[in-house]
A and B are shown apart, each in its own frame.
Chain A
Amino acid sequence: MKGTAGKKLNLALNVTDHRMLDLLRRRGLRVLVAALRHQDADLSRLLDSLKLERVYLGAEFCWHRMPGARTLLKYADAVIDNGLALAFQTPVVYMESFGLMEKLLAGIERLARRKGKKIEVVVNDWGLLWLVRERFGRLEPVLGRVLFKIKKDPRFVLSRDKNFSKVLGSVRRSSASASIYRKFLSSWGIRRVECDLPEQGLNMDFRKAGLEASVHLPYTYVTSGRRCLASAMAAPLWEKGLLVRDCRQECRTQGYVMSCTRSSGYLFRGDEGFSRIKRPEAFLVGKAVLTRSAAADPAGVSTLSRYGFSRVVWTAGAAH
């Protein structure tokens, strides 16, 4: 499948389930792909049409989900030994976790040197971008979707406000459309950005803007923070509000579905006129709120080329 004129759209897997990574390590790529095909019909169809070239490891939204250094490097080794490229995903970082991230980046850089490979680091934190540029020049920074700024509100499907329709053009464009913002990115060594598909649609051509771009499917990131309902569950009442806490990764098996209180169903007016009734839903998984992208079905994926994307990053398994 072509992503841009003459440029192919490639596939990367964002593997959030460590059992899948263990499968890759022990049984190799073919067995992993077979297991993923069995688990996810949409991914199976994508694998038929796109070339799998990369695996994403790490954690995008919460440092508690980051594997330990030794485990991470074992998985990273397995990815590279199976002929795939690697992207190391990093979350928003506070001082609490900064030291750990520094250690992990050092390990990843040593691996890159040892294997003679380029490894991407997906940064979702400005401080980590500074760190990667200052101390780990061998690693290639990529702007993650938490830092890729564009309005994303699931309630857009509820809007009949004519004022919003006036500015729809602007809210469909991100800061990456601005040449001065791209100069900023370039000054920090960023040539690739990652995003997903907002409810109101996207009005960008990354190829024309001179940026490489990846699109994350099937989940769209909305918001996150440091509070975690899942980990607060086990905490006594007077400690539920704490921001720094131990974590038993309850979010791997539990979450919340949130729906708009005002909605019992609305007609969604898209570019092609009125379409099906939609009730906006969002999933709170750990610290992050995500929605399922409408473009996740195979017909939607085939339209991605108009935005100039060169990579589809598919989250295999749980949302994060």
Chain B
Amino acid sequence: MKVVVPIRSVRETDILIDDGADELFCGIVPPEWKRRFGFESPLNRRETATGNLASYADLQEIVAGAHDRGVDVHVTLNAHCYAQEHYQVLPSVLGRLARLDVDGVIVADPGLLFLIKKMRLPFRVVVSGEAMATTAAAVALWRTYNAARVILPRQVTPTEMGRITRPFADMEFEAFVFSDDCFFEGGVCNTIHHFSSDTFCHEFLQRAEGWGRMRGMGDLVGRGLTLDYFLRMKRTACGICSLGTLKKNGITHLKIPGRTGPLESRRAGIRLVRDAVTLIRAGRAGEKMIAQMTQWRQAVEEAAGGRDAAEAQRLACLLGNSCYYPDDPVLKKKRRDDFGPPRRKKRGALR
């Protein structure tokens, strides 16, 4: 499985590749776009200068540096929609990317996929997670636009991934593995990520008040506990315990999102995922594998935020509220065994 990492400046190229990135992806808001539409209506889902390259010259340097080391570079054009005025600029942006020898584009808007097919551009077409390929039928639809790889949305379970990937043995499939989780499903979210100091889901969930009929104290407690559970959801979610399951279910590429995050957190993510991939390749599985992964995960948090952060991560790992794949059968069983009521053997004896 290859590790796909975001890059946001030229100086990061060698650093990220040395750390173990197999592929890089970036966003760009070129000058002609910025003049007309600003960062607030960008080419991709990050409506901010942070996380986006500002010039084709930077992109050219990154592509040249990465290609020297045998690493591909993709450019993300994954805005959900482009209006008519955007399409007056998009063909020249695409042409420029082709001349810069970019290896692929990550796309969510069907109109843009239609345009790329029509222009017969030489890129690899990667369908973004924002395009909501949640079923094999959706992959079949995107395939008609020459999609070579599909990024599966965050909320597809590992078991469902197997059912999606199986009919398409000649395609690549990418899944999220570390960083940047979302309470909602990104591909059907119309809010703006960088509108204010926080994302919509975090900003609003903090002030959510329940309404409606409750049957009794049990419901009141249940509601409070549920809100608390999701409010504690960490922004840096993690799926490394599920790598074995993802591999078994047809995932070929592992995505570390978070272009706007600092370099150190991306580097920590790469090292963590690389170590996890090595463990999986060595055939490790089951409870011992999970124990090792959670220990590494806590170490990452401790390095960034101290003992308290590590302890918060330990609880998050136990409860699964910052887990990319809580429905992984291995993790479900572990949580049930750790916390669930004791299971009875036959004839009423406790296990």
Contacts and interface: CB of A to CB of B under 8 A. Distances in A.
Nearest to A149: B81
B115 interface: yes
A167 B326 contact: no
Contact of B37 (A125, A146, A167, A240): A167
Contacts of B191: 151-153, 155, 222-223
A178 B82 contact: yes
A235 B319 CA distance: 12
Interface string A210-245: 000000000001111111010011111111111110
Given A173-B84, A258-B205, A238 B336 contact: yes
Contacts of B136: 95, 98, 127
B54 to A, nearest CB: 16
A238 B137 contact: no
Interface string B320-347: 1101001100001001101110000000
A93 B135 contact: yes
Contacts of A242: 326-327, 332
Nearest to A183: B114
B68 interface: no
Nearest to B222: A233
Interface stretch (B22-30, B96-104, B223-231, B259-267): B223-231
A224 B195 contact: no
Interface stretch (A82-90, A109-117, A128-136, A304-312): A128-136
B138 A126 contact: yes
Given A95-B135, A181-B110, A258 B332 contact: no
Chain A, interface size category, equals 35 or more
Given A125-B135, A222-B190, A254 B84 contact: no
Given A254-B212, A256-B209, A130 B137 contact: yes
B184 interface: yes
Contacts of B275: none
Given A95-B163, A174-B81, A259-B207, A238 B190 contact: no
Interface in B96-150: 109-111, 113-115, 118, 131-142
B109 A125 contact: no
Interface stretch (A1-9, A45-53, A71-79, A156-164): A156-164
A227 to B, nearest CB: 6
B327 to A, nearest CB: 5
Given A167-B41, A225-B155, A233 B111 contact: no
Contacts of B182: 225
Interface in B137-191: 137-142, 155-157, 160, 163-164, 182-185, 188-191
Contacts of B140: 127, 130
B141 A238 contact: no
A149 B111 CA distance: 11
Interface in B184-224: 184-185, 188-192, 195-196, 200-201, 203-214, 219, 222-223
B80 interface: yes
Contacts of A183: 114
A255 interface: yes
Contacts of A275: none
A189 B252 CA distance: 34
B83 interface: yes
Given A170-B41, A225-B183, A258-B207, A94 B156 contact: yes
A256 B182 CA distance: 18
B40 interface: yes
Given A126-B138, A174-B83, A237-B229, A259 B204 contact: yes
A92 B132 contact: yes
A31 interface: no
Contacts of B111: 175, 178, 180-181, 184
Contact of B196 (A158, A229, A238): A158
Interface string A260-294: 11100000000000000000001010000100000
Interface of B: 37-41, 80-87, 109-111, 113-115, 118, 131-142, 155-157, 160, 163-164, 182-185, 188-192, 195-196, 200-201, 203-214, 219, 222-223, 225-227, 229-230, 318-321, 323, 326-327, 332, 335-336, 338-340
Given A92-B185, A259-B207, 12 more contacts: A92-B188, A94-B135, A94-B156, A94-B160, A98-B137, A181-B114, A223-B184, A226-B155, A238-B340, A243-B157, A253-B212, A254-B214
Interface of A: 92-96, 98, 124-131, 146, 149-156, 158-159, 161, 163-164, 166-167, 169-171, 173-175, 177-181, 183-184, 187, 198, 221-227, 229, 232-244, 253-262, 282, 284, 289
10 contacts: A92-B134, A94-B134, A164-B40, A173-B84, A179-B87, A223-B184, A224-B185, A226-B185, A227-B155, A243-B155
Which 10 A-B residue pairs are closest in the complex by CB-CB distance?
Answer: A181-B111, A127-B137, A254-B212, A127-B138, A149-B81, A175-B81, A225-B184, A127-B135, A152-B190, A258-B204
